[in-house]
Amino acid sequence: MVVTTQDTQVVEKRQVPSLGEQNINVTISVVTEKEKAEEKKDRIFYFGISLGFEQFQEKTVANYEVEEAEDYIDHLGANLGFFLRWYFYRAGSFQFGLNAIYHHGYYYIEESDYRIGWGQYHYNHDISIDYHSFMAEIPLTFRFGIPLIISPYLSLDFHVRKPIFARIDYDVFVDVQLGDYYDYNNRDFRYDDYGSNEGTFANSDWEFLGYLGFGFEFTRHISIQWQMLLLDAVTYSAEMVNYKLLADTWRISLDIAF
């Protein structure tokens, strides 16, 4: 028996007797742990699932100005999807995928204006809006990292969203009082409306968002990042830029690759 030892491979040759004078050489190849590690290192394509959580602040909802609304913590979103990732260097990659997104927003606005002169004017309105929406999203992500044991990285994301369905519950109360200095000829206008609307978005309703992020890649199988909104454009609102930017609209995502 002859055993030949190399850096990455062990080859064992055995001479087996056969019928007649013919000999058969049997070769057994053994893959070492070093070879497995190098093969793993050379892998550049990965498939995985992505989990996300986000907080957002909008400027208009259902044609109401909500930019100055309170209760920021009630504007939350969650998303779940899958992705395909390609590494173009050890800590740099590009990935794309498909996400399902759920948004919940609650806005409460209270505004009063009281002026007195030759005529007096008093205006008060209370508006509450509570809505739920569902969207589909295609995210495109570039990561530029530093190749370390735990690799920090910067990310640039571009998301194309298609709103699908929404339900809105609203309650509106408006009170306007007009009169002169002596309270003659006073007039009072009041408007109260509440109800619910639900339905699908039009085919022309889209969102386009760009994020800047920072994260850590613990291994190529697990990474986490925080992102803030740099730019956005929507086609269904009077405000072309409908989300407030930077730290007012942000997201956290966890990627698990296989």
Q: Which residue has the tokens 């190849």?
A: 29
Number of independent structural domains in the chain:
2
What is the Cα–Cα distance from 104 to 116, expressed in whole angstroms?
A: 40
Residues 223 and 158 in one domain: yes
Residues 34 and 59 in one domain: no
Tell if the pTM clears 0.85, that is, is over it.
Answer: no
Q: What is the pLDDT along the chain (258 residues), one digit of tens a residue?
A: 444 444 444 444 455 455 455 555 544 455 565 555 555 567 899 999 999 999 888 888 777 777 666 555 678 899 999 999 999 999 999 999 999 999 998 887 776 655 555 555 566 667 788 889 999 999 999 999 999 999 999 999 999 999 999 998 888 777 776 655 555 556 666 667 777 888 898 898 999 999 999 999 999 999 999 999 999 988 887 667 788 888 888 999 999 999
Residues 101/137, Cβ–Cβ less than 8 Å: yes
Q: What residues make up the domain containing 29?
A: 1-42
How big is the chain, counted in residues?
258
Residues 151 and 233 in one domain: yes
The CATH number that applies at residue 146 is: 2.40.160.20
Residues 26 and 99 in one domain: no
The 10 Å Cβ neighbour count of residue 171 is: 14
What is the Cα–Cα distance from 249 to 258, expressed in whole angstroms?
A: 30
Residues 214/158, Cβ–Cβ less than 8 Å: no
Residues 70 and 122 in one domain: yes
- Report residue 198 as tokens: 């639900």
Residues 1 and 80 in one domain: no
- Report residue 225 as tokens: 């990042």
Locate all alpha helices (DSSP H) within 109-202, ordered by sequence: none
Cβ-based burial of 29 (10 A; exposed 0-12, middle 13-18, buried ≥19): exposed
What is the Cα 225 distance to its own chain's centre?
Answer: 11
- Report residue 6 as tokens: 């190399």
